Structure 1
Amino acid sequence: MKEKQQHITDRNESGLSNLTDEELWVSSAVADDTQQYDVDQAFERFRKRTGLDQSGKQSYKWYRTWSVAAVAIVLLGLITVTAYWQGSRQIQSNFSDIVVEAPLGSKTKLTLPDGSTVWLNAGSKMVYSQGFGVSDRRLAFQGEGYFKVEKNDEMPFLVQTHDVNVTVVGTKFNFRNYPEDEEAVVELLEGKVALENQLKEEAVRYLSPNEKMVLHKATGEMDITSAKVKEATLWTENILLFDEDLLPDIVRELERSYHVQIEIENEDLKQTRFYGQFNQLEQNIYDVLDMLSETGKLKYHEEGKVIYLK
């Protein structure tokens, strides 16, 4: 019996000698897992059993402390990133809309947060977020505007309207789309623009410099032709140019530019076209009407605040 006990003891001692301190520590911890587990007491029993000195305990406590600290740092990092992401989304969702309008009889020029410049013609309106340029460069628009867009390949500049959307990276273009007009017109001076028809399903169309797009609102048809696009921005210099335009279109332009009310009494006049160039700063509404009358195609008179054409 003594020989058998000695054989078992020798085998156990031989096995223990091949294990590391960590393996021994795990073994002794598992051995007592049926009792309420106390880490410090278990380690103390293990130290007495193996003859491990006090420095081992200090090393273990140091390891435990830094393990907890490392987990805390990781959790803190995750919490920080999550809080930043949620905070950023919350801030963006709380951005207010900024509304810019050019009253009838006047024009407005402004610089957007991304450095782009916009001229708004009389009776025009533009709405964009207070966070414009943070995650996107998108704005809603109606009327007439001349846009000089700062280039940003990673964040396209989008002008949205009911009839057609215009997307650019960096360019100069004139966009005319008053709600009451029968046509929406985009004329490109520099760069390239993408046109998305909102009235009729079709592929995205593109404009090159010195080209003009006309969208017919009644049919949704989009036509692209060559044009003298520099003339499209004359209004920014207070010049009114009518190039064989129909009288109803001219009347709408005069009403916006001079803030007056004009009625066409003679229905036949609605199919009449006129050519003329006027300087708003030097010529008032009556000067313009006098020159149109000199063509012999119409006459005008005023009753109260309304000007009638016949």
Structure 2
Amino acid sequence: MDRDLLYRFFEGDVSVEEMKLVKEWAEASEENGKLLRRERKLFNAMILAGHVEPADRSTISYKKKNYFIREFLKIASAVLITVGITATLFSIGKDTDDVNVAMQTITVPAGQRVNLDLPDGTNVWLNAGTKMQYPVSFMKDKREVILDGEAYFEVVHNAKSPFIVRTHAMDVEVLGTKFNVEAYSKRNIFEASLMQGRVKVKSPNNEKMAVVLLPHYKTTLIDRRLVVSNIDDYNVYRWKEGLYCFKNKPFARIMEDLEKYYDLKIQLDKKSIANVILTGKFRISDGLDYALRVLRKDVAFTYRRDKNNDVIYIK
């Protein structure tokens, strides 16, 4: 299979006929399927390492491929993301031209974040504990991703193809804009914040539950209602820079956020400090122990870590 065609397929720059050709070739033998997955991983590595340019597709030498393999392994060991072709969930085309397309899945572990470009050029930052699925090639009339966690999107404008973020609670639909979505299913929360452009937030099960956001506004799902309010602090979106920022936030809520970032359970046994209001910021890479030591300068508490069960007890 021509490598230029494969890389255009990964970028979404192919016709329906070319998609069929790649699909038929990949399913023709187990070896072809393995080769497709291997080339996809190399392509992902180049994206994550920031080495993908359209002009590079046809000039990738074996020397460069080996370099990209090393880059991929280095990134995988440092960031611990898992990138792979998983399930066939989306369809490309209509009627008899329908073509099934495999989904990419990216999972970001605790304490890390990932930046990548989607097949249409949309740039996405993924926060810690986030899982996102997207097709190797978007449909012509719509672009859909599935998000469980937090992500910041800079969507490439395409009036003929709306960009849709599906979450456990709400869908977010845009044409081209900058926005943040926090929708961790385990925490049962949903919040969408708009920085630029215009977005529509709607329930997939109730057409009447929908709001249109303008810049500098956010909507939060509270008691099964979408509540719109002003964005009063943009520092909270600096997680893209590796910072956890909080302003006038209760101690208990801060502990919940630290649970998300470090993927463990924090049990607050000292209830008297739950509502202490704090403002500050931490570099996530400094670790949980550092954050707790700094917080102890303003709040009186001790803590004990149960390493066997990944639980922190606050007393």
- Among 102, 119, 122, which residue is 2:125 paired with? 119
Aligned residue type for 1:256: K
Aligned to 2:247: 243
The whole-number CA distance in structure 2 between the counterparts of 1:221 and 1:265 is 31
Aligned residue type for 1:307: I
- For residues 157-201 of structure 1, give each alpha carbon's deviation from its aligned partner in whole angstroms, at most 9, with x where no partner exists: 000112111000000001111113353111111000001035765
Cα distance change, pair 104–254 in 1 and its aligned pair in 2 (3 A): same
Aligned residue type for 2:257: E
Cα distance change, pair 180–203 in 1 and its aligned pair in 2 (3 A): closer
The whole-number CA distance in structure 2 between the counterparts of 1:284 and 1:122 is 13
Matching of residues 1-310 of structure 1 within 5 Å: 92-198=98-204, 202-216=208-222, 219-228=223-232, 230-281=234-285, 283-304=286-307, 305-310=310-315
Give secondary structure in 1 for the equivalent of 2:101: coil
Give secondary structure in 2 for the equivalent of 1:95: strand
Aligned to 1:56: none
The whole-number CA distance in structure 1 between the counterparts of 2:183 and 2:175 is 21
8 Å Cα contact 1:258/1:285 also seen in 2: yes
8 Å Cα contact 1:106/1:122 also seen in 2: yes
Give secondary structure in 1 for the equivalent of 2:299: coil
Cα distance change, pair 245–234 in 1 and its aligned pair in 2 (3 A): same
TM-score (normalised: structure 2): 0.64
Aligned residue type for 1:239: L
- Deviation, 1:244, is 2.3
Give secondary structure in 2 for the equivalent of 1:155: coil
8 Å Cα contact 2:209/2:226 also seen in 1: no
Give secondary structure in 1 for the equivalent of 2:294: helix
- For residues 31-76 of structure 1, give each alpha carbon's deviation from its aligned partner in whole angstroms, at most 9, with x where no partner exists: xxxxxxxxxxxxxxxxxxxxxxxxxxxxxxxxxxxxxxxxxxxxxx
Aligned residue type for 1:225: S
The whole-number CA distance in structure 2 between the counterparts of 1:205 and 1:306 is 39
Cα distance change, pair 254–199 in 1 and its aligned pair in 2 (3 A): farther
8 Å Cα contact 2:141/2:162 also seen in 1: no
What is the count of residue pairs matched by the alignment?
225
- Deviation, 1:269, is 4.1
- Deviation, 1:92, is 4.6
Consecutive unaligned residues in structure 2, runs of 5 or more: 1-15, 21-92
Cα distance change, pair 96–106 in 1 and its aligned pair in 2 (3 A): same
- For residues 128-163 of structure 1, give each alpha carbon's deviation from its aligned partner in whole angstroms, at most 9, with x where no partner exists: 222324442011111000000000011000001121
Give secondary structure in 2 for the equivalent of 1:96: strand
- For residues 9-40 of structure 1, give each alpha carbon's deviation from its aligned partner in whole angstroms, at most 9, with x where no partner exists: xxxxxxxxxxxxxxxxxxxxxxxxxxxxxxxx
Give secondary structure in 1 for the equivalent of 2:132: strand
TM-score (normalised: structure 1): 0.65
Aligned residue type for 1:278: F
Consecutive unaligned residues in structure 1, runs of 5 or more: 1-82
